[in-house]
Amino acid sequence: GQHTASQRKNVRILLVGDAGVGKTSLILSLVSEEYPEEVPPRAEEITIPANVTPEQVPTNIVDFSSVEQTDEALSAEINKAHVVCIVYAVDDDDSLDRITSHWLPLVRATCNATAGSSADDSAASADGDVVEGLPEAARKPIVLVGNKIDLIEYSTIDSVLAIMEDYPEIESCVECSAKTLHNISEMFYYAQKAVLHPTSPLYIMEEQD
Ligand code: GTP
Ligand code: MG
């Protein structure tokens, strides 16, 4: 694959995952470097300036809340994101199961729908902030994030590695804790890296036919 993505001027990271897994806590822990005991349903979109990110690229971090947002709003955010972090809670097997039963298929379906419908890529170059080319829309890098590692003594990485074998768009996985701040900056670094230095081919969806 080509590394066109490395010329990117910003990175937009979207966090999705079941209710209660800690998406909002992760974002607020990163920003304040301490664990917020009380969080709103959805964090405001934040922009991390280039000079404090490991890759020196301005980074937008976007929260999702099923309480505050519709399915349509979620689809729009998935399309705008350069990388999607699917968050589960390591102590909640249901949230782990939902990665394959819901979240990964949803991201794929959303990207495919966009690739099929917006055939006009001439509009993209005129306004760099809107749609970027079709092939890129078909490949949305994913990072799997297991939060609340402070609650358990074991690791969920074996289950996650099995998922990664079936979904090549998953760039990396990480276990972390918004509460202890363990691996929090790493998590956002992996997300940046998935966009700026993707390791898998750029045209996964086409290659799978
Ligand atoms: P929704 O907004 O409902 O989709 O949930 P969310 O994914 O944003 O989760 P939220 O950040 O609201 O956290 C849910 C609960 O989990 C809260 O009570 C948090 O305090 C708690 N929590 C979040 N992160 C951690 C963690 O790393 N460890 C522990 N022990 N609890 C956590
Ligand atoms: Mg939330």
Q: Which ligand is nearest the CA of 92, by number?
A: 1
pLDDT (tens digit, 9 = 90+) per residue, 160-199?
A: 999 999 999 999 999 999 999 999 999 999 999 999 998 8
Please indicate whether residue 65, judged by its CB atom, sits closer than 6 Å to ligand 1: yes
Partners of 174 in the β-ladder: 145
Q: Would the ipTM clear 0.95, i.e. be above it?
A: yes
Residue with CA nearest ligand 1 atom 26: 148
> Exposed, middle or buried, 136 (CB in 10 Å: 0-12/13-18/19+)?
middle
**Two tokens, residue 11:** 């990175």
**pLDDT in the model for residue 122:** 41
pTM (two decimals): 0.86
pLDDT (tens digit, 9 = 90+) per residue, 101-123?
A: 999 999 999 998 877 654 444 44
- Alpha carbon separation from 103 to 35, 49, 56 (Å, rounded): 26, 29, 29
Residue with CA nearest ligand 1 atom 13: 22
Query: Mean pLDDT across the chain, nearest whole number?
Result: 86
Ligand 1 atom index nearest CA of 63: 8
